[in-house]
Amino acid sequence: MSTELPRISDAEWEIMKVLWSRSPQSAKDIIAALDGKRDWNPKTVRTLIARLTEKKAIGCSQEGRVYTYYPLVREEDCVKAETRSFLQRIYGGTLQPMLAHFLREEELSREDIAELRRILDERKE
């Protein structure tokens, strides 16, 4: 897995989600997985695949005339990096204002609240 994470656009995240869920996959498989979720033509998907390959977010292997693609970066690492970037851009890198905003604005079920309490209790220990 790569140590430096590439910047992945919102559209590219869709391709990555497909590959993180199951790999390797051909471009045809990726196009089929996105069918109905995105209104992209196959050329758009192939362009995104090419960009991700250039960025070294995904790798490619060839068997005969078929190319298959697989992630070179872990989903957990990309989510963590994206979360840090968001937190820095929107909340100046401070978690508390984001959490306060989220808790005030979102509808939380009893189960959600119980889970949040459990997480906070674990962190206290």
Q: For the chain, how many structural domains are there in total?
A: 2
- pTM for the model stands at 0.78
Q: How confident is the prediction along the chain (125 residues), in pLDDT tens digits per residue?
A: 445 889 999 999 999 999 999 999 999 999 999 998 888 999 999 999 999 999 999 999 999 999 999 999 999 999 999 998 889 999 988 888 888 888 888 888 999 999 989 998 998 87
Q: First-to-last CA distance in the chain?
A: 33
Domain of 100, in residue numbers: 95-125
CATH of the domain at 25: 1.10.10.10
Secondary structure class of 23 (helix, strand, coil) = coil
Q: Are residues 66 and 108 in the same domain?
A: no
Is 117 part of a structural domain of the chain? yes
List, in order, residues 6 or more apart from 103 with CB less than 8 Å away. Answer: none
Q: Are residues 65 and 116 in the same domain?
A: no
Is 77 part of a structural domain of the chain? no
b/e per residue, 77-106, with b = 16+ CB within 10 A? Answer: ebeebeeeeeeeeeeeeeeeebeeeeeeee
